[in-house]
Amino acid sequence: MGKQSLYNIEISVDVKGFGESDSWSHYFGFRKIESTIDDSTGGRIFKVNGEPIFIRGGNWILSDGLLRLTKKRYMTDIKFHADMNFNMLRCWGGGLAERPDFYHFCDVYGLMVWQEFWITGDVDGRGIPVSNPNGPLDHDLFLLCARDTVKLLRNHASLALWVGGNEQVPPVDINKALKNDLKLHPMFVSYQTSKSEVIYLSEESTDPSKYLDGTRVYVQGSMWDGFANGKGDFTDGPYEIQYPESFFKDSFYKYGFNPEVGSVGVPVAATIRATMPPVGWSIPILKKRIDGYIEEVPNPIWDYHKYIPYSKPGKVHDQIELYGAPKDLDDFCEKAQLVNYVQYRALLEGWTSFMWTKFTGVLIWKTQNPWTGLRGQFYDHLQDQTAGFYGCRCAAQPIHVQLNLVTYFVEVVNTTADELKDMAVEISVWDLDGACPYYKVTEKIVIPPKKVKQIIEMKYPKMKDAKPVYFLLLKLFRLSDNGTISRNFYWLHLPGQDYKSLEQYQQKKIPLKIDSDVSVSGTRHKVRMTVENISKKSVVDSTRSVSAMDLGDASGSHSTRKETTRKGNGSDGLWRKIRSGLGVARPSDNRRTLEVSGTDSGVAFFLHFSVHTSESSTDGEEYNDTRILPVHYSDNYFSLTPGENMAVDISFEAPQGSSPRVVLRGWNHHLDHAVMI
């Protein structure tokens, strides 16, 4: 949506002879937000400075019941959402109006805010049994609080709209009062006039002081007027595991804007151990039913923490068991991260595939947790990101290459206002033996602004010798300089197959080279990690025309297109080769190199960084969580094909006096590959 320029205003009142009596300051920004119901989709559409914005965001349910969050915590939370490429946060009506720091950082990071008042259907007229439809008890007090809230928040540029309630409208008198208080100023109302017609507005009707806000629409409820079916029926959701391809089906959701759709959210094993007693470390029992589906039975602690199963008996086969029955907590949580990534990437890619033709937006239920719950989240209460975080980050790129999981056509999404010219898409398939049996490049692509363009069918699954499990790498790049704009890595199976062969793939020893460049200022650390898959690769004859390449029947082929990579500068003489997975290079400057030995060729699968103190993770019988949190990663849970490298920027604040370790693990890299800082 462009740069978020903010300006600071300072106002002070001086009393002659006595000095300053009062002062006030506030950051503000200039923008115009419009919102109407789209005629073609029936969904609500938002425009910022005249440009339609396809909404991809989430539901913020609550920060902390005792309002204990610090300014730094709010900054991290909101930056996490910006890092996922989200553009809207909904402050859910079952929660509260957030503290000013929340809105300030939404201003800073450019997230629009949907602000709901404190009406929610489960306690205000709906639910089972049906609750009191006339709640809240004191209507005058409610309206007094609502008006004070508007005055508190209305100067924030991020605030996009007011909504009366969650899955419910306020009682008639409150709703009428809010509609009147929050009516639009005439400058923000579109008038349909003929050329000869002139509308005269009285001075009183244009006086800004007569309006409590006047610049933002008021919608009476979260399922009314362009949201869900627009009539208040329960048409948001669902909130459970889905087959990834379901999100790409036209039948999955009928309406133009879904304010709530959710799924699973198990965190990493370290979070389970850090937040639950050992009795809570047992994983769900997988009970196979007579119809072949699996029913998950969680332990009582997980059930209390609102665990959402990774299966839906009768409808969706267990998505964790697709990778093999989990052996223990670590195995369960690692496989859960695979599913988290696939699930949420598919959700956003499926919605975006219908951008403007069927949908105008979607908000995921939910993005974060005010407690140590297990229900839908992209980072846990301790602020460690799940793999779903990075699935969203990938899918919500402003310019994005993706695979339609129903048609198997490659699509390019352009949510920007600029036309993309002279683009190319590279498709490469890698099998578990390290070969590239399918490769194709399509050149001279033009993608119109704010459009999804279908490029070409990915036909590998139709080949007679297609492997049951394979990796797919898509790249969108500029022909002018070969610079990659979007990269998207999939692991897929043929129809009727599963991912159990990936368990054997864990035994593959893929060699890696890890370069680090470290900058330290006080306790603040910035690290650039460049990871390279140095396993052997086959090379395509570079004399052939790239635009004509279609190596669907060629085995062991790979592109020779030169990539634009990000590597730090430094003397090779300062690098040191480390053979052990736990080896550490200690050169005299801030550069380090670690090489992980391996004799196999293939994809280095599902690599992920974490940052730890130098302490042990066990202290007698007690679990000692060594993670340093929060940490910002430019990417994580990534995979590298032979010869590929990726630079990941990592920033964090280490505890005073600690010696942090940046650790790399992966599906076929089980030991900690650590670079000491």
Residues marked active site are found at: 167, 260
The number of angstroms, rounded, from the C-alpha of 53 to the middle of its chain's C-alpha atoms is 17
**Residue 467 preceded by cis peptide, ω within 30:** no
> To which residue do tokens 């890092």 refer?
83
List the one residue out of 145, 152, 154 whose CA is nearest residue 182. Answer: 154
> What's the angle, vertex CA 316, arms to CA 312 and CA 319, rounded to 5?
95
- SS3 label, residue 406: coil
- CA dist 224 to 159, 178, 255, 584, Å? 19, 15, 12, 58
Contacts of residue 143, defined as CB under 8 A and 6 or more positions apart, other chains included, come to 174, 177, 178
Say if strands 112-116 and 88-91 run parallel, antiparallel, or are unpaired: parallel
Cα separation values, 631 from 389, 498, 522, 636, Å: 13, 33, 16, 11
Show the tokens assigned to 619. Answer: 């202290």
Buried b (16+ CB within 10 A) or exposed e, 6-34: eeeeeeeeeeeeeeeeeeeeeeebebebb
The phi-psi region of residue 606 (left if phi > 0; otherwise alpha if psi is between -120 and 50; otherwise beta) is left
CB-CB contact of 45 with 23 (8 Å): no
Contact (CB, 8 A) for 367 and 378: yes
Token pair of 258, please? Answer: 């879904």
**HEC string of 279-292?**
HHHCCCEEEECCCC
Cα-only R_g, the chain: 27
Please tell me what DSSP assigns to residue 358.
T
387 neighbors 342 (Cβ within 8 angstroms): no
Question: What are 103's two structure tokens?
Answer: 């809105």
Core vs surface per residue 627-663: b (16+ CB within 10 A) or e: bbbbbebebbbbbbbbbbbbbbebbbebeeeeebbbb
What's the residue count for the chain?
677
Is residue 637 within 8 Å of 572, Cβ to Cβ?
A: no
**Do 336 and 264 meet the contact criterion of CB atoms below 8 Å apart?**
yes
Q: Report which of 497, 503, 505, 486 is spatially closest to residue 430, judged by C-alpha positions.
A: 505
Q: Which H or E run includes 274?
A: helix 269-275
Q: How far apart are CA 204 and CA 186, in angstroms?
A: 11
> Across the strands, what pairs with 604?
640
CB 329 within 8 A of CB 268: no
